[in-house]
Structure 1
Amino acid sequence: MRRRGMTRRSLVASAAGLVAAMGTGGDAAAARTARSVRGGAGGESVRNGGDESVRGGGGGEDRFARGEMRGVWVASVANLDWPSRPGLTAAAQRAELIAHLDRAVGLRLNAVVLQVRPTADALWPSPYEPWADCLTGVQGKDPGWDPLATAVREAHDRGLELHAWFNPYRVANHTDPARLAASHPARLHPEWVLPYGGKLYYNPGLPEVRRFVQDAMLDAVRRYAIDAVHWDDYFYPYPVAGQVFEDDAAYARYGSGFPDRAAWRRDNVDRLVREMGERIRETRQGVRFGISPFAVWRNAATDPLGSDTRAGVETYDDLHADTRKWVKEGWIDYICPQIYWHIGQSAADYAKVLAWWNATVRGTGVCLYVGEALYKAGDPAQPAAWQDPAELSRHLTLARDHEEAAGHVFFSAKHVAADRIGAMARVVADHYQDRARAPR
Structure 2
Amino acid sequence: MTKELQGLIARFEATLLTANANYSNVDVSTARVVQQILDRKTITHKRADKQVTKSSYQNSHWALQLARQKLKQFHYLVDRGKHTQARAEWLAAKKVLWDNYPRDRKVAPSEVRGMWLDRGTIVKAKSEADLVKIFDRMAIAGINTVFFETINSSYTIYPSKIAPQQNPLVKDWDPLEAAVKLAHERGMELHAWVWTFAAVNQRHNLILDLPRNYLGPVISRHPDWAITDHEGSRFHYSSRKVFLDPANPQVKQYLSSLLAEIATNYEVDGIHLDYIRYPFQSPTGKMTYGYGIAAREQFKEQTGFDPIELNPQHPLWSQWTKFRVEQVDAFVAEVSQNLKQLRPELILSTAVFPMEKQERLLKIQQHWEQWVEQEWIDLLIPMTYALSADRLHTLTNPVLSEFEREKVLLLPGIRLLNISDVIALDQMQLLRGMPTEGYALFAAENLNPDLTAIFNSTQGSNSGEAQQLLPHREPFEVTLSRYRSLQKEWNFFLTNNFLGTEDNILQEWGSQADQLALKLQQLVDEPSNINFLATQLTLSSLRQQFPQWMKATKSIDEYQAKVWQNRLDSLDRLLGYGERKNLHRDPRLGSSK
TM-score (norm 2): 0.52
Partner of 1:393: 425
SS across alignment from 1:361: coil
1:205, CA displacement in angstroms? Answer: 2.1
User: Are 1:296 and 2:355 counterparts?
Assistant: yes
1:196 to 207, 222, 235: 235
SS across alignment from 1:196: coil
> Take 1:338 and 1:292, find their aligned partners in 2: how far apart are those partners?
7
**Which amino acid counterpart does residue 235 of structure 2 have in structure 1?**
Y
1:269 to 319, 325, 328: 328
**Which amino acid counterpart does residue 445 of structure 2 have in structure 1?**
K
Partner of 2:133: 99
> Take 1:273 and 1:263, find their aligned partners in 2: how far apart are those partners?
15
> Take 2:321 and 2:183, find their aligned partners in 1: how far apart are those partners?
41
Name segments (4+ residues, structure 1) moved above 6 Å.
175-178
**Which amino acid counterpart does residue 157 of structure 2 have in structure 1?**
L
**Which amino acid counterpart does residue 220 of structure 1 have in structure 2?**
I
User: Are 1:82 and 2:114 counterparts?
Assistant: no
1:392, CA displacement in angstroms? Answer: 1.9
Contact 1:238 1:318 in 2 (8 A): yes
Q: Note the 1:347-366 alignment, pairs <5 A.
A: 349-366=391-408
Question: 1:400–1:226: structure 2 CA closer, same or farther, 3 Å change rule?
Answer: same
Partner of 2:413: 371
1:341 to 362, 379, 386: 386
User: Are 1:125 and 2:159 counterparts?
Assistant: yes
SS across alignment from 1:57: coil
Question: 1:123–1:353: structure 2 CA closer, same or farther, 3 Å change rule?
Answer: same
1:411 to 418, 442, 445: 442
Question: 1:157–1:188: structure 2 CA closer, same or farther, 3 Å change rule?
Answer: same
Instruction: Give the gaps of 5 or more residues in structure 1.
Output: 1-55, 137-142, 303-313, 379-388
**Which amino acid counterpart does residue 294 of structure 2 have in structure 1?**
A
SS across alignment from 2:324: helix
Question: 1:180–1:319: structure 2 CA closer, same or farther, 3 Å change rule?
Answer: closer
> Take 2:293 and 2:163, find their aligned partners in 1: how far apart are those partners?
26
Contact 2:116 2:440 in 1 (8 A): yes
Question: 1:392–1:279: structure 2 CA closer, same or farther, 3 Å change rule?
Answer: same
Deviations 1:314-341 (A, max 9, x none): 4322110001221122110010111111
Deviations 1:66-109 (A, max 9, x none): xx111211111xx2x2212xxx8xxx332232211111111121
Does 1 or 2 have the higher relative contact order (CA < 8 Å, sep 6+)? 1
**Which amino acid counterpart does residue 118 of structure 2 have in structure 1?**
A
Partner of 1:42: none
Partner of 2:180: 152
> Take 2:403 and 2:452, find their aligned partners in 1: how far apart are those partners?
27
> Take 1:192 and 1:275, find their aligned partners in 2: how far apart are those partners?
19
> Take 1:203 and 1:146, find their aligned partners in 2: how far apart are those partners?
29
1:146, CA displacement in angstroms? Answer: 1.9
Contact 2:159 2:174 in 1 (8 A): yes
Partner of 1:254: 298
> Take 1:117 and 1:394, find their aligned partners in 2: how far apart are those partners?
32
> Take 1:132 and 1:172, find their aligned partners in 2: how far apart are those partners?
14
> Take 1:359 and 1:342, find their aligned partners in 2: how far apart are those partners?
22
Partner of 1:219: 261
Question: 1:438–1:134: structure 2 CA closer, same or farther, 3 Å change rule?
Answer: farther
Of 357-366 and 218-227, deviating more is 357-366
> Take 2:386 and 2:215, find their aligned partners in 1: how far apart are those partners?
36
Partner of 2:106: 57
Contact 1:196 1:244 in 2 (8 A): no
User: Are 1:69 and 2:112 counterparts?
Assistant: yes
Number of aligned residue pairs: give it.
331
> Take 1:218 and 1:177, find their aligned partners in 2: how far apart are those partners?
31
SS across alignment from 2:402: helix
| Percent identity (aligned) | 22
> Take 2:247 and 2:212, find their aligned partners in 1: how far apart are those partners?
20
1:359, CA displacement in angstroms? Answer: 3.4
**Which amino acid counterpart does residue 110 of structure 1 have in structure 2?**
N
Which structure: greater helix fraction?
2
Contact 1:374 1:424 in 2 (8 A): no
Contact 1:116 1:123 in 2 (8 A): yes
Partner of 1:332: 377
Partner of 1:237: 279
Contact 2:132 2:182 in 1 (8 A): yes
**Rg larger for:** 2
Contact 1:116 1:165 in 2 (8 A): yes
Contact 1:122 1:132 in 2 (8 A): yes
**Which amino acid counterpart does residue 415 of structure 2 have in structure 1?**
A
SS across alignment from 2:338: helix
Instruction: Give the gaps of 5 or more residues in structure 2.
Output: 1-104, 206-210, 228-233, 304-315, 474-593
Question: 1:277–1:297: structure 2 CA closer, same or farther, 3 Å change rule?
Answer: farther
> Take 1:247 and 1:429, find their aligned partners in 2: how far apart are those partners?
51
Partner of 1:22: none
Of 184-193 and 330-339, deviating more is 184-193
Contact 2:389 2:430 in 1 (8 A): no
**Which amino acid counterpart does residue 82 of structure 1 have in structure 2?**
I
Deviations 1:336-359 (A, max 9, x none): 1111114465xxx31133233333
**Which amino acid counterpart does residue 193 of structure 1 have in structure 2?**
A
Question: 1:83–1:329: structure 2 CA closer, same or farther, 3 Å change rule?
Answer: same
Contact 2:235 2:242 in 1 (8 A): yes
SS across alignment from 1:292: strand
Q: CA RMSD in A?
A: 2.7
